[in-house]
Structure formats: C-alpha cells, structure tokens
Amino acid sequence: MSTVEYKFTYEVVDSPAGLKADDAALLKKAQEVTVNAYAPYSHFRVGAAARLTNGQIVTGTNQENASFPAGICAERTLLSTAASLYPGVPIETLAVSYNSENGPSDHPISPCGVCRQSLQEFEQRTGHPIRVLLSGLTGDIYIISQSTQLLPFAFTNDELK
C-alpha cells in the first residue's frame, strides 16, 4: 500500500488593482454580466467572462428554470457560447464572479462539479489549459493556473476509447 498526496497551489490577490490590466478587465466583465443572469429562485447571479486565444471575449450567466435540473450554470453557458461562436478556439483565461441577493458577495466561489467536468473536457479537446480567476464583487481573487487542477481524477474521454 502507498499513500499519494494531491496538492496544488494558487495565487491570492486582494483586489483587482493587483491584477494585470487584461485580467482586471476580464474580471470586471464577469462581475458586470451578473445582471444578465436569470436567477429568480436562488437569487444567486453568476457571471463568467473568457478571453479566447484569438483575443475575443465571450460571456455567460446562470439561467435557472422552475424545473431545477433544467437550469445551466454560467460557466457551461460560456463554454457552449464559445464553442458555438468560435469552434476549436481555446480559452486563455476564464473569470467567474457572482452577486448574491441573500448575502455578501465578498469572497471567491468555485465552479460546481459539473462545470469542473465541462472545463476539463474543454481543455482536453482544445489542447490548451484554461487559467481561472475566481472572485466575488469584492474581496480576494484566486488565480488558478489550470482548471483541471480543480478536478483530480477526472473522468475523461480517454476512458471511452
């Protein structure tokens, strides 16, 4: 028997002023698009913005549905939009933010498990790591160098070959 330890590191920045200008602009865009979320049930509006390797910016927001499983998260909305508008173009950096009507939006949140799986597959199919910025409207910002770090032991399309 052996023991294996999984660790990853990430950066923490205390405000957008500590980011590079293009990262700060991307995060601001993610924060701004939270107003476009359709969240009448949770009142938890999530916005995502991505800079593609071709320089284009794509956004997505969560879209809830009275039949709760039918909703879609901001990250997956963004991935679908990016893949539809720019087929095969990798994502360079993805920023995710939120605005909760039920409490403060003052710390980073992380993508759900389904979104982590979707990000992993997008990385795999485009052959390019997705850098991730996680933040609320205020507070710390987490910078993760590759989205696949969020999902150790991912189930990938390699298992289906």
Catalytic residue list: 75
Measure the CA–CA gap between 102 and 98, rounded to whole angstroms: 12
Query: At residue 73, what are phi and psi to the nearest 5 degrees?
Result: -75, 160
At position 142, the amino acid (one-letter code) is: Y
> CA angle 94-55-44, nearest 5°?
30
Place of tokens 């485009």: 126
φ, ψ at 63 (rounded to 5°): -130, 100
